[in-house]
A and B are shown apart, each in its own frame.
Chain A
Amino acid sequence: MYVIFLKLCNNYTTCKYITVYFRKGLFLLNEYLSIANSNIVFFICALPVALVLVQSILFIRMGIKRTRELGIAATTTKKVVTNSVVSSILPSLPIIISLVALMPALGKFVPWLRLSVIGSAMYESMCADLALTSLGYSGLGDASVTASAFVSVVWVMCTASLAWPLSNAIGLKLYDKKLKTAQRSGSGFMMVAAGALFVGMMAITSFTRMFNFANMRSIVVYIVASVSALLLDFVAKKTKIKVLSEFSFPLAMVLGMVSAIIFANIV
């Protein structure tokens, strides 16, 4: 490892001293982006993404086989598939914005990897920024980030997120066994409890948005989407148009998003 100190001066008035690390050749400032955007990094990042696809196909096949064992109609399974496809398209699009937002600082492929696998746009930006500030930089967008620091950030982003799959790998089987034992041996209350869990989740993750007074538009969107979902289900029941009920979620979501555009233009 070699270290050189560069004195960079701007118009002979301000100068800053930059430490540059290099091993096999000289890595100039911001040359880490040429590493980050290289074909090698693309192929390295593509492997976990490929694993996600393999796992998904494996579990879908297991799920379909199980639905047949339980006597669930193939038409029902097809509806679930169609609904899942339609409902996943729109919510995936904003993630592309986060992907592009991270590209200038982290290159093309690491954000792609992180947002595709164990992804959360919020976590990735925070994690990368936290890693850089811990290493002594000002954060994402710091122009003095070196190749070494970039790799450190990749280490942190990849290893910190392992908490999720690792907790499953280590503890999920035992936890699931305990839960299923409780469900099978419990009285009718276990069925009630399962529904209550959904209610509890919706109360704290969703209902709270009705009171986001700092963002009135989001309240309007939430109400429009909620009312739309209920209305679509109601109309589907009355008119027996099943497709309305099957697509009530994506339709209500789109109507909510449209109301955001209308609200933004009115207010």
Chain B
Amino acid sequence: MSDHENATINFESKVHRYGKITSYALCLLFIAVPLAIQLSFGIGIDFAGTLVAFVAAISAFGPAALTEFVSYLPILGAGGQYLAFTTGNIMNMKMPVATSGLKISGIDPGTPEAEPISMIAIGISSIVTTVILFFGLILSAQMLPVLQSPALAPAFDDVMPAILGAIAAPILTKNLKLSSVPCILAAGLTIIAGYSAVAAKQSYLLPIFLVIAVAWSYFLYKKDNAKATANE
């Protein structure tokens, strides 16, 4: 086995090892938070009521977690996904910085180079967000009047369209033929069902549209190959 192959196996193995360790550690710490509060202050809970509330919450969010688990790996890479699923804020921060990082480094998604670039971009973003939120915690009284000022409020209210417009345009215009069917279907669905209905079901629609896009790209790929063969 070549050095390159050894290095690749070593890298992938480390990513999953540390990814699993940190993910399990986070799960333990998250269980420890409410448990520690209970033990520190001697508070009992209504176990049955809490269980009912948990079932309601997991029913609402569990399917979204599973669809995101399936959908994001090809885009973020394994390392990026371990990081993104730990810190959250995937659509508004992790995915855009990963995409932007690939673009400025001139690296195509799905290549071996894409994974470390995605990991670095998402790791840095996680640190920045954590630090800013910490300052937000201690300086909330000072920051809030600025953040909620009537002058700036429209900008923060519409930060998501700004982020997604800036990220999507270069991707969708890079290959208009490839973008055509997924975009037309997305547009049609939104016009018929309404934007709020589509946005509410986005986590469930995402894997469907990934499949549509891949199927359409396969059709175009086969068509181009057939044309190339015919020309030969």
Contact = CB atoms under 8 A, between A and B. Distances in A.
Contact of A191 (B18, B111, B140, B191): B111
Given A208-B199, A261-B151, A54 B22 contact: yes
Given A51-B22, A191-B108, A207-B187, A202 B61 contact: no
Interface in A235-251: 245-246, 248-250
Contact of A225 (B15, B161, B214): B161
A72 to B, nearest CB: 6
A99 interface: yes
B103 A221 contact: no
| Secondary structure of the A contact surface, majority rule | helix
Contacts of A245: 104
Interface in B9-67: 11-12, 14-16, 18-20, 22-27, 29-34, 36-38, 40-46, 49-50, 52-54, 56-58, 60-62, 65-66
Contacts of B88: 115, 117-120, 123, 161, 164
Nearest to A55: B22
Contacts of A9: none
A135 B37 CA distance: 19
8 A-B pairs with the lowest CB-CB distances in the bound complex, closest first: A194-B110, A200-B213, A256-B162, A225-B165, A96-B136, A163-B65, A196-B217, A134-B53
A28 interface: no
Contact of B140 (A76, A99, A175, A263): A99
A96 B133 contact: yes
Contacts of B210: 197, 200-201
Contacts of B187: 207-208, 210-211
15 contacts: A59-B83, A63-B117, A70-B116, A72-B105, A87-B97, A118-B87, A131-B56, A154-B33, A158-B31, A194-B108, A195-B217, A203-B179, A205-B202, A229-B165, A256-B162
Nearest to B218: A189
Nearest to A263: B154
B162 A253 contact: yes
Interface residues of A, number: 161
A35 B38 CA distance: 10
Q: Among A88, A118, A147, which residue has the most Cβ atoms of chain B within 10 A?
A: A88
A96 B148 CA distance: 10
Nearest to A196: B217
Contact of A116 (B50, B129, B168, B196): B129
Contacts, number: 581
A16 interface: no
A93 B160 CA distance: 12
B102 to A, nearest CB: 9
Contacts of A7: none
Interface string A59-103: 110111111011010001101110111011111111111011001
Contact of B50 (A62, A147, A156, A172): A156
Interface string B62-105: 10011011110111001101110111111111011101110111
A166 B23 contact: yes
Contacts of A210: 187
A230 B173 contact: yes
B101 A208 contact: no
Nearest to A103: B140
A197 B214 contact: yes
Contacts of A257: 155-156, 158-159, 162
Given A169-B24, A199-B213, A72 B116 contact: yes
B44 A23 contact: yes
Nearest to A36: B37
B182 A195 contact: no
A21 B123 contact: no
B178 A196 contact: yes
Contact of A120 (B57, B89, B134, B137): B89
